[in-house]
Amino acid sequence: MTRYIRRSLLLICVMGLSTNLLASCSDNQTKEIESTMKNFTEKELFQAIAANDIATVKEILANHTVNLEVKNSKGETPLMMATYKKYNALALYLIDQGANVNAQDDRLNSPFLYAGAEGNITIVRKSLAHGADFTVFNRYNGTALIPAAEKGHLEVVQLLVATPNFPIDHVNRLGWTALMEAIVLSDGGTVHVAIVKALIEGGVDVNIPDHEGKTPLYHAKSRKFTAIVRLLEAAGAKE
């Protein structure tokens, strides 16, 4: 007998419930019992995810009707928790079971957005194949591409700029595109040169200015990012 089933049976025994007793309860009593069992199951689900226990997660989903969009005290769904912990096998399984890759927590992260920001290409790919919504933005009103460009996640950048209908020129609350963040929040090193190149090849507008009217080329020149300046100028960038 598995740990999950033992706990479920124990709860039923403690409550003094049998199938016949449950059937004899009033509607209000039945609803209260069902609510208690539901809360218990959801708690077990989050505990199993925290432990990266995919076997128990599968068992719970196989034996109970579970709302995969239930949230914990931080507003995290089971998939969001698995994504934060980089439990990719578990996250992939939950997505296959229908978990929403766009559900946002209290920090406005979603599995798709956070995976992009952290360079988790596996979850990014899976999210794109399971309904990633490009109109859902993070707390900076940004896309998955913008922090990926800033943090040096080249593979994610290359994937997203090649994704049809992805908003590669989206401007976040700070007034920056992915291209701008790859310049103003980087050291201008090899990785970010490659990211700027990938963005340009992906078709970004190289002349979108920030809120102060300063262009990507202006920022690249002011930081003496010579290689990036050359790429921008070759793409028709203006200061």
Query: How large a percentage of the chain has pLDDT more than 70?
Result: 83
Our CA dihedral for 126, 68, 7, 39, rounded to 10 degrees, sits at 150
Per-residue model confidence as pLDDT tens digits over 43-94: 999 999 999 999 999 999 999 889 999 999 999 999 999 999 999 999 999 9
What is the 8-class DSSP label of residue 168? Answer: T
Token pair of 3 as six digits? 């740990």
pLDDT at 231 over 50: yes
CB burial of 134-161 (b: ≥16 within 10 Å; e: otherwise) equals: bebbbeeebbbbbbbbbbbbbebbbbbb
> Taking the mean position of all CA atoms in its chain, how far away is CA 96?
15
Report whether pLDDT(116) > 50: yes
- Averaged pLDDT for residues 215-233: 98
C-alpha dist (Å) from residue 72 to 39, 42, 60, 178, 198: 11, 9, 17, 32, 38
The percentage of residues in the chain with a pLDDT greater than 90, rounded to a whole number, is: 80
- As a whole number of Å, the end-to-end CA separation of the chain is 69
pLDDT-derived band at 159, boundaries 50, 70, 90 = very high
Per-residue pLDDT of 192-212, as tens digits, reads 999 999 999 999 999 999 999
Residue 98's pLDDT band, with cuts at 50, 70 and 90, is: very high
Work out the average pLDDT over 137-145.
Answer: 98
Distance CA 119, CA 141 (A): 19
pTM: 0.86
Q: Is pLDDT at 1 greater than 90 in this prediction?
A: no
pLDDT averaged over every residue in the chain:
89
pLDDT over 80 (residue 20): no
102 vs 107: CA distance, rounded Å? 13
Q: Which residue ranges make up each domain of the chain?
A: 27-139, 143-239
pLDDT band at 226 (very low <50, low <70, confident <90, very high): very high
Contact (CB, 8 A) for 46 and 81: yes
Q: Mean pLDDT across the stretch 25-35?
A: 50
Inform me whether the pLDDT recorded for 148 exceeds 60. Answer: yes
What CATH number labels 143-239? 1.25.40.20
Q: Which of 20-24, 100-104, 165-169 has the lowest mean pLDDT?
A: 20-24
pLDDT of residue 44: 93
* 8-state DSSP, 208: -
pLDDT at 46: 95
Q: Is the pLDDT of residue 12 over 90?
A: no
- Sequence-distant (≥ 6) Cβ neighbours of residue 210 within 8 angstroms: 174, 175, 176, 180, 184, 219
158 has pLDDT over 80: yes
Q: Which residue has the higher pLDDT, 30 or 134?
A: 134
Q: What H or E segment, with its residue span, contains residue 127?
A: helix 121-129
Topology of domain 27-139 in CATH is: 1.25.40
Instruction: Give the integer Cα–Cα distance in Å for 92 and 27.
Output: 38
∠ CA 211-212-218, nearest 5°, is 110
Q: Do domains 27-139 and 143-239 have the same CATH topology?
A: yes
